[in-house]
Amino acid sequence: GAGVSQSPRYKVAKRGQDVALRCDPISGHVSLFWYQQALGQGPEFLTYFQNEAQLDKSGLPSDRFFAERPEGSVSTLKIQRTQQEDSAVYLCASSTSGVAKNIQYFGAGTRLSVL
């Protein structure tokens, strides 16, 4: 019944490796968001899905970042050829529908360290 679930909680990657981060939103939530949070900063928007459609990917920092939500529920954020500057906490959030005032519920995040 739970909230937003993210896995893995921690990921250590060597520079140049590919990583995949998973988000399982609250059941029935139409909207899904990915954020990147660097140390000492607030979360920064990466991308947004409404069901399976990726409606906004303007926050993805480079073409090494790719997100998908093929069946409109679970989403995966993939980072190819990781760089040290990719080290951050990646947060996933979901909400009931794509309305500005709707509350977003966050998962506990995946802490990515690129060595």
Partner 1 sequence: RKEVEQDPGPFNVPEGATVAFNCTYSNSASQSFFWYRQDCRKEPKLLMSVYSSGNEDGRFTAQLNRASQYISLLIRDSKLSDSATYLCVVNLGDSWGKLQFGAGTQVVVTP
The residue with tokens 């660097």 is 38
Main-chain dihedrals φ then ψ at residue 84, nearest 5 degrees: -60, -35
From the CA atom positions of the chain, what is the Rg in Å?
Answer: 13
Binding test (CB under 8 A) with partner 1, winner from 40, 63, 70, 71: 40
CB 108 within 8 A of CB 10: no
By CB under 8 A, the residues from 62 to 91 that bind partner 1 are 91
Using CB under 8 A as the binding rule, whether residue 42 contacts partner 1 is answered as yes
Binding test (CB under 8 A) with partner 1, winner from 25, 43, 82, 112: 43
Using CB under 8 A as the binding rule, whether residue 99 contacts partner 1 is answered as yes
Main-chain dihedrals φ then ψ at residue 85, nearest 5 degrees: -70, -10
Helix ranges (DSSP H) in the chain: none
Using CB under 8 A as the binding rule, whether residue 25 contacts partner 1 is answered as no
Q: Which residues of the shown chain bind partner 1 in the complex (CB under 8 A)? A: 31, 33, 35, 40-45, 48, 50, 55-56, 91, 95, 98-109
